[in-house]
Structure 1
Amino acid sequence: MLSRAYVYLRQTDWRIFFGIIVTALWLVAGLVYLRSGMFGHDSIYSVPLDDLGSFLEGAFAPLAFLWLVIGLFIQQRELADNTEVLRQTSIQSEKQTQAIAATEMNARQETFFKIAENVRSQLGGITGMLFISSMGASEGQRVSRERIEELWHMLARRDDQVFAREFLLMDTEQYGGYEALFYETEIRRGHTKNFMTTFDRLMLMARNCDSENGIIADSLAQTAHGLLYNRMRDNQPEGIQVECAEVETADYVEILERSRD
């Protein structure tokens, strides 16, 4: 009981205690004045009403003004407290909204990474078929069977970008350039279009679940598949255009070319 009273007193505005003390002192002073002044020897009933009203008005006007000021201060504090509560509520609501958005983004990114793993395997198979149609037996066995088998074994061991690296590292000029490697025959055009369409969809998914800095899309664009995608897009012959979005890449082409030396 005492603890509750103590807590209540601590929570009560000090201005209220100040007002109570001043009011009590004012009333005591008023009683002393009444005993020694206008009502000292005469009965209160014998005092004219006008005089009594003027006395009471003058006696309690300062107290009324005092409590009006105290009330204004208390009201101001309550408004400030309510504003702070609203601000804290707004902050908590914003944090909850951000947490929900982050959770949703994480779920979308996790789904993307699972899908991207399968799509990369698909892209690896497409580039393998394109490599065979460009460098295999149908083209005079430009690359030995042993090397092609080795590349397929690497692809089977989850090196999905092995054929893409081969395209990027080879001296394409001796084979007619990238345009010939990707678009010279109907089979190559079909594989190239399939690769570009698949990679473009993967890039669209990456951008839809990416953060503001675009790190997921950038990292995807800077892979061997992303570099090969750009080579395919940049070397499309007239009359053969595959609708696709531009993929920005870093200077990894130069890095790959230097690795050949």
Structure 2
Amino acid sequence: MEPEKPTTFFGLDWRIALGFAVSFVWITGGFLYLASIVGLSQFIHLPTADIGSFLEGAFAPLAFLWLVIGHFMQQKEIVANTRAIFLQEQSARRQEMHAQRDSFFKLQTLVQDQLGSIAAFHYMSLQALIGTEDEDTDALTAEQTLGASSDSAWFIRKMIALAVSNRQDQAKMHEIFFGTELRERHSDNYIKTFRKLLRAAEAVDTDNMVSEALLHGSPAGILYRIILMVQGEQLIDSLMSLSNEPGSGRSMAG
């Protein structure tokens, strides 16, 4: 909304215009008083001290009037400067927020690549468990290269698919994510890395839209929630909306 424009007369602020009008009326009245009552010739021949005292008394009200007008004009300028400073501060805050968000989205790309790499190493460590130890090594290497170059969520989605296919077997789920020291380390690293990403998102997003999208709308967030549920010994049916079993809607652990 545009600021309210001040009332003007002949291009002057109404206070200045009022001051000029009052001054003109006051001086004109004083001149007429001298001309009709005192007489200009008699006034001119008065002693200098008397003339000074008369002018001092005559112009004192005008001096006070312009002092008051100056005070209000100064107050108006202070209000305008305060508003300008406030707008500049808001603009600086918006620019800072945009800069922080730009930095976050650049960081998000790097962190998602890191999460994809963790998921890739985790998936590679599962080949013997899921019965694909004879799978072509070159094919797995090609998939890992794909995940690292163009699709950082490739192995994250493969881990999600693996979890969904074994969702009814709690022991197998625990074996997938925490069965060995290496898998447990991969799962812990994934949780810690994703939590750092969430904290960074919350710091630049007051409405939590970005953090909610990361947690509930991205493959990285879904895998994070799956790991937390497995860590808390809960089935993932409620997470993937694949079952309406009683108790499947319990909150995530951690």
TM-score, L = length of structure 1: 0.65
Deviation of 1:86 (Å):
0.8
Deviation of 1:15 (Å):
1.6
Q: Structure 1 regions of 5+ residues with no counterpart?
A: 1-5, 36-43, 45-52, 239-250
> For the Cα contact (< 8 Å) 1:133–1:139, is it kept in 2?
no
User: Which residue number in structure 1 is paired with residue 167 of structure 2?
Assistant: 173
User: Which residue number in structure 1 is paired with residue 74 of structure 2?
Assistant: 82
> For the Cα contact (< 8 Å) 1:175–1:181, is it kept in 2?
no
User: Which residue number in structure 2 is paired with residue 129 of structure 1?
Assistant: 121
Give % identity.
Answer: 20
Deviation of 1:120 (Å):
1.0
Residue deviations 1:53-72, cap 9 Å, x none? 9xx9xxx7xx95x8555444
Give the counterpart of 1:152 among 124, 144, 150: 144
Deviation of 1:193 (Å):
0.5
User: Which residue number in structure 2 is paired with residue 197 of structure 1?
Assistant: 192
Residue deviations 1:128-160, cap 9 Å, x none? 1222333x1344229965985674354144211
Deviation of 1:190 (Å):
0.7
Question: Aligned AA for 2:193?
Answer: T
Give the counterpart of 2:32 among 25, 28, 38: 25
Structure possessing the higher radius of gyration over alpha carbons: 1
Give the counterpart of 2:210 among 209, 216, 219: 216
The CA distance in 1 between the partners of 2:96 and 2:186, in whole Å, is 35
The CA distance in 1 between the partners of 2:91 and 2:225, in whole Å, is 37
Residue deviations 1:2-39, cap 9 Å, x none? xxxx999x87632211211111112122135999xxxx
Deviation of 1:223 (Å):
1.4
Give the counterpart of 1:226 among 209, 221, 227: 221
> For the Cα contact (< 8 Å) 1:124–1:160, is it kept in 2?
yes
> For the Cα contact (< 8 Å) 2:118–2:190, is it kept in 1?
yes
Deviation of 1:73 (Å):
4.0
The 3 A distance-change label for structure 1 pair 68 and 218 is: farther
The CA distance in 1 between the partners of 2:24 and 2:240, in whole Å, is 79
User: Which residue number in structure 2 is paired with residue 40 of structure 1?
Assistant: none
> For the Cα contact (< 8 Å) 1:178–1:231, is it kept in 2?
no
User: Which residue number in structure 1 is paired with residue 3 of structure 2?
Assistant: none
Residue deviations 1:92-147, cap 9 Å, x none? 2222223333333333333322222122111101111222333x134422996598
Deviation of 1:203 (Å):
1.9
Whether 1:140 and 2:131 are equivalent positions in the alignment is yes
Q: Which moved more, 1:183-192 or 1:141-150?
A: 141-150
Q: Structure 2 regions of 5+ residues with no counterpart?
A: 1-9, 244-254
Question: Aligned AA for 1:94?
Answer: F
Q: Which moved more, 1:77-86 or 1:188-197?
A: 77-86
Report the count of equivalent residues. 213
Partner secondary structure for residue 235 of structure 1: helix
TM-score, L = length of structure 2: 0.66
The 3 A distance-change label for structure 1 pair 95 and 140 is: same
